[in-house]
Each structure stands twice: as C-alpha cells, then as structure tokens.
Structure 1
Amino acid sequence: MRVEPHRQHGQGRISLLRSLWYHSQTEAREDVEAGRSITLPVQSTVPPLLQVLRRLALALIVLAATTLIVYLDRSGYRDSSDGSVDFLDAAYYATVTLSTTGYGDITPVSDGARLINILVITPLRVLFLIILVGTTLEILTERTRRQVRIHRWRSRLRRHIVVIGYGTKGRHAVRTLVGQGVPRHRIVVVDAQRKAADIAADDGLVAVSGDATRSETLLKAELPLASQVIVAPQRDDTATLITLTARQLNPHATIVAAVREDENAPLLKQSGADTVVTTSSSAGRLLGVAMASPAVARTLEDLMTLGSRLDLVDRPVAPEEVGLAPRACAELVLAVVRDAQLLGHDDPRLGELRAGDRLIVVSRALPQPSED
C-alpha cells in the first residue's frame, strides 16, 4: 500500500509531538516525586501565622468599612422586621453581603444606596473573598513555585559535590568546602533524617532526605553528574554500602569516605573509595600528640581548621615559582603533586618546580566569610 509523502510527514509530526508530550510528562512526574524529599535552601518569607493574622486584619477592616458605609446611608435601606436599620443591622447586612449569603431581609431601597452597592460594596465583596481564599491560593502558588525551583535546580546541576551525612563530620566538611571557595549551590546534602535535611536547608544548601544506600535517593541528588562525593554516615557498614552504590552510579567521581575503625578502611577502598579517613585513629593520634606536646597539638588543630592562624592549602604553582626549588618559595612547601604522584619537599626526584605542579603549602589564614 502506497502512503503519500504529506501523510508520512504528518505522522512524523504527530510522533514528535507525542514524544515531546511524554518527555514533559515524565519530567513533571520526576519533579513532583523529587519534591517530596528535596529540601531547597530557605528563602526569606513571612511566617504562616503572620500571614493569617494579616489577612484576618484586612478582612476585619473591609467588614468595618462596609458596616460604616451602610450605617451612614441607613435611611436608604429597609429592614423587613421593623423597617429601620441601626448599627447592628448595618453590621449584619455587611456580613451577609460580603460573605455572599444574602438573606434578603435587609435591602437597599433608595437609588443612592443601590448605587453605593454597585460601585463600593460589590468591589469590597470581591476583595473580601480574595482575602478569604488567599491562604489556599498562597499554598497552590507556593507549591507550583517550589516545583519550578526544583526543576530549574535539577536542569542546571553539573559537576557538583554530594555530601552524604550531615552530622558532625558532614557539617565540618561542608564548612571547610565553603571556606575554600566552593559555592553553596554546588553542594548537595543527603541524609536519612528529615531534621538534618532541614538544618542543611537552613544553612543555604539543597538537601535530599532518604536512605543513601538506595539508588533512587542518590539519583535525586543527581549523583551520576557529580564530580566529588563525601561519604560521612555514622556507621561503617552504612558507609560501605553507600560507597558501593555511589561508585556504581558514577564510576568517575572522586569519593572520600570516613570510617570509625582502621580495619574497615581496606573494605571502603575495595568498595570504590579513593580516599578513606579513619576518624577514631586520627583522634587517638591527636590525643597522644596533645599529651606529649600541647603546642604541637594546637598547631595541628590550626592546620586542620580552616580560618585559624595557619592553613594547609593545595594550590597550583605560580608562574614566577616555575624553575625554583621548593625551599625558595615564599610559603612553606610541604609536598608537590606531579603527574598524580605526591612527592615530599625533600624528595630527590622533585628538583625544580614545573608548570602544572600543585603545591601543598602552609599559608597564613585568610578571613573567612560570615555564616549570615
């Protein structure tokens, strides 16, 4: 059977439209699903209770104004019960009129009263109804705005840093990253506890609440597109499962994991972690150094705490430093990273500094941005 060319083109356009519609519907469903667990940074908004009080005050002002208008023109109204309109009748008429109840027992009879109802009271009735439904409209608007923010965030997120676990280790890791110049919008926090996700949002971070050992949770954090992953849960077995899942989703990301016990470090490396930090042994060594020499312990604490008197900095070699010996640099050079290999400052293979080297130096601490 022969199909005419214009029919083929028409069918092709229909197929394209169906494909675009299906893609848009899929993205919308994903945004709605992600919105249940993604907490965006908190924006400055009016508290809900204050919003309700403001709307209530506006409604009362509209009601009082309408009552006053009716009472001042009470001679133009008729009450079917006694024929006259007093202040209580005016308030009653304003209430049933603004709420669109309209029992009809009090009616405007003069031309002036009817004209005022058309030009003044009817707009006040519309304003009154808008105030009453304002809370519902605000909720719907906020929900739509939140879905738009989530969709925009997901579409722009690339080469970000995922921090899994926002306990003590995770918070200090984020604080150090921000101190080193990483923008907050490039950091995504994942934590199983909703309270921790809310704290991260209060700190200006995007947070995903959910079990990080499950792929769907890490997919909501766009982990396949991340460049670096920090694994800092409370348990070592959880860290192992998270590292396995993260490495499966992203074979190229740099994964740094924290464990409590030294015996679990090899397991983390086999699971795909590039660097493993043992918290208990590191703390134990620092305790030993503090006992033997408190001054050395304080210096180490300064080096590990960004913004203290001294900072450990990883930076590229400056053009004016190329060709110099490490000791000739203005800052104290501890090591040099060359061709993905770490060389100590006294390594005989080091020689002169080359273009492309990265220096591990001790520098004076720079003022850190405030947390406001």
Structure 2
Amino acid sequence: MKLSGHDAIARQADEHLVTHRVQLPRKVVERPIRRAGKRLAMALLVLFATALIVWADRDGYSDNSDGAVDLLDAFYYATVTLSTTGYGDITPVSDAARLTNIFVITPLRVLFLIILVGTTLEVLTERSREEWRLNRWRAALRDHTVVVGFGTKGRSAIETVCGAGLKKDQVVIVDPSSKVVDAATAEGYAGVVGDGTRSDVLVRAEVGRARQIIIATQRDDTAVLVTLTARQLNRAAKIVAAVREEENAPLLQQSGADAVITSSSAAGRLLGLSVLSPAAGMVMENLIQQGSGLDIAERPVIKAEVGKTPRETDDLVISVVRGHRVLGYDDPAVGTLELTDRLITIVRATPSAHVAPDVRPLRQD
C-alpha cells in the first residue's frame, strides 16, 4: 500500500500508546482551588464570628491561668471549641455564656464541621460519582456516531452532521492525544483517549452499538486497521473513511468501509473547478457547508410524487436512490418515482429549523 512519506510526526503519534480512558463532557464549574478557597474562607468566617461572640461576653468566661479572657483567649477558645478539642482551660461560668454556647456556638461548631467534612467527602466521592456517571452513559448510549480522529477532517465531518440535527451527546470522539480529547469534551462531545486500531479502545467507545462510524485518521494504513477492527465489532454500522492517496481507496472498501473519500483528490478537484469557474467553485463550496446557503439533502418519496418523473417534483432533484443504485435525475432507468425510492435534492438551508426525522442531509465527509 502506497502511503505519503511526510507524516513522521503523525506516525509517532499513532504508535505512541496512552492510557485508555473515557472522558465525558463536563458542565462549567468552578476550579477546585477556587472552591477550596471559598470553603476555607467560610470556615475562617465562622471561626472569627465565634471569637467575637466570646469576646463580647468575656466576663462570663473564666481562664484557669489568669482568670481574665482577652481577645487572644477568645480566638483560642473559639478554635479549640469548633475543632471539638476542648482543653477545658477556658470555660463559660455565667448562665448567659452557657446559653450562648448552647444556642449559638454549638450550631456554629456543627457548621464548621460540615464545611470541613463536606470538603473531604467531596474529594473522596468524586471518583465514585464519575464512575456512576460513566456507567449510566454507557447504558443509555445507542445508535450513536463514533469519530476516529479529531483533526481537521474529523472535526469538519462531525460539525456537518451535527449541523444537520445530530445531538452532541450522541457523538463519541476517539483520538490518541489526550489534549485533542480534552478539546472535544470541552465542545460537548464524549471522548476516548486511545489508539483507534485497538479493539479495546473501540469497545470503550461502544462501537458495537454505533449507527455510523467516521474514520478520519492522519494516515492511510491507520485508517485501514481502524476500518477492519470497527467492521469486526459492528457488522451493521455505516462506515465512512477518508484517505489521502486515491489508490488506497479500494483497500478501504475491501476492509469494510461503505464509502471512501479521497481528501487530497477532492480538494484538488475543487481547486481545478475554481480555476475553470470561480462561481462554480463557490457553489460547490456552499453545497458542502451544511447549514448555510444551499444544502444537499436526502429524503423519501412521498405518496403524491409516486408515478411522477424527478423533474415533476417541487424540489430540485439531482439523483434518485433506488435500492443500492444511485441514478441521475435524467437516467432513463429511473422512469417514474416509486414509493421505496429516495431523492437527493438541493434545498435552501434553514439553520434555525430542526431537520425532520425522515430527511437525512447527504454526508459531505
């Protein structure tokens, strides 16, 4: 298999194995240091308030060392009391001081302990909560989309699909770079750090229950291995793969890919078209940008269209999908439309509207 020879860095990245883990998108929360700082400030505030209460009623307390309670003694008493140490060297002796201890200082002690214990419990239970969240995510994940490789191609492909109505919580990104997966989760996708050629990594991404798989790796040989592994794990999913060299496309198809896009050739053809006709190049660029201007969409034939020719429909039909064949609108084999046909049409993009369940924008990856 012929491969491009300028990917030494990409080869090292693919061959470098990292710890496989699943990362779910996180809600925007405060940084741990800021949260800990807030709780520490709350604890100090409770301590300061307790010391002031004792200082205000200092005549009702007795110090075993000198009998008097000054400001330092008040802070000392507040500290040992809130921490439940209780040395007994400073004690409330008046009724007012004892009542204050019952109704004010004791609740403050409980609040102080809640702040400290709550912080400790939060740290200890964080991992358990994450495991529970991960298990719940796995149980609910069905008919999702797996993207192997979140570079320029993978990102553009999934943005196109999501622009057509796919929810981000139905997308799982697989990439060997933890920084790339962090960026994906920051955008709302779930991510798996690991080499997509390994079956255990794809299993973590629940490839076996995926509806469609997009393979957008940096190297053609990696794409072949990922396709073979993914097809072995899921016989029914639609697999779309990208390659750089056109002569590697048949190998991808033999490996199990339903559709193979040659990225370099496609870009070259678009460049050539733009040279011959800049306007035609702009139209093609518009068509492959989902959600703006004109879009290519696939939809079923409705009952009112059965028996008509493609030109007699209200939409601009460019192809008819009949069984496993894609026929041009003017192909004599089309004849009249059948109820089981699907139409590939050019429609005006409506970014604000949701795509109807029966209408599938044509994949542009």
TM class by smaller structure: 0.7 to 0.9
Match of 2:147, SS state, is strand
Match of 2:128 among 127, 138, 144: 144
Indicate the residue corresponding to 1:11 in structure 2.
none
- Establish whether residue 131 from structure 1 lines up as the match of residue 77 from structure 2: no
Match among 225, 230, 235 for residue 251 of structure 1: 235
CA distance in 1, matches of 2:190, 2:289: 24
Q: Which residue of 2 aligns with 1:79?
A: 63
| Residue 165 in structure 1 maps to residue 149 in structure 2 | yes
Deviations for 1:36-72, whole angstroms, at most 9, x for unmatched residues?
A: 7111122233332332232122112211211111111
Aligned residues: 336
Q: What's the counterpart of residue 228 of structure 1? A: 212
**Secondary structure in 2 aligned to 1:336?**
strand
> How far apart, CA to CA, are the structure 1 residues paired with 2:300 and 2:170?
22
2:47 matched residue in structure 1: 63
Partner of 2:298: 314
Q: Secondary structure at the match of 2:327?
A: strand
SS of aligned partner of 2:66: coil
Match of 1:354 in 2: 338
**SS state at 2:68 partner:** coil
- Equivalent of 2:166 in 175, 178, 182: 182
What secondary structure, in the 3-state scheme, does the structure 1 residue paired with 2:298 have? Answer: strand
Contact kept? 2:163, 2:351, Cα under 8 Å: no
Question: How big is each residue's C-alpha offset from its partner over 1:83-133, in whole Å with a ceiling of 9 and x where there is no partner?
Answer: 111122111211122123333332222233233223322221121122123
Post-superposition Cα deviations, 1:292-329, rounded to whole Å, max 9, x if no partner, equal 21111100000100122111111111222222110112
Report the structure, 1 or 2, having the larger helix content. 1
TM-score (ref. length: structure 2): 0.87
Cα separation, 2, equivalents of 1:158 and 1:271:
24
| Residue of structure 2 in register with 1:153 after alignment | 137
Does residue 107 (structure 1) correspond to residue 81 (structure 2)? The answer is no
Equivalent in the alignment of 2:277: 293
Q: 1:95 aligns with which of 69, 79, 83?
A: 79
Consecutive unaligned residues of structure 2, counting only runs of 5 or more, are 1-18, 355-365
Identity %, equivalent residues: 58
TM-score after normalising by structure 1: 0.86
Residue 203 (str. 1) matches residue 187 (str. 2): yes
Deviations 1:5-40 (A, max 9, x none): xxxxxxxxxxxxxxxxxxxxxxxxxxxxxx971111
Q: Of the candidates 33, 36, 53, which is equivalent to residue 37 of structure 2?
A: 53
Q: Distance in 1 between matches of 2:353 and 2:326?
A: 31
Structure 1 stretch displaced more, 333-342 or 38-47? 38-47
Q: Deviations over 1:192-231 (max 9, x none)?
A: 1112212221222111111111111110111111121111
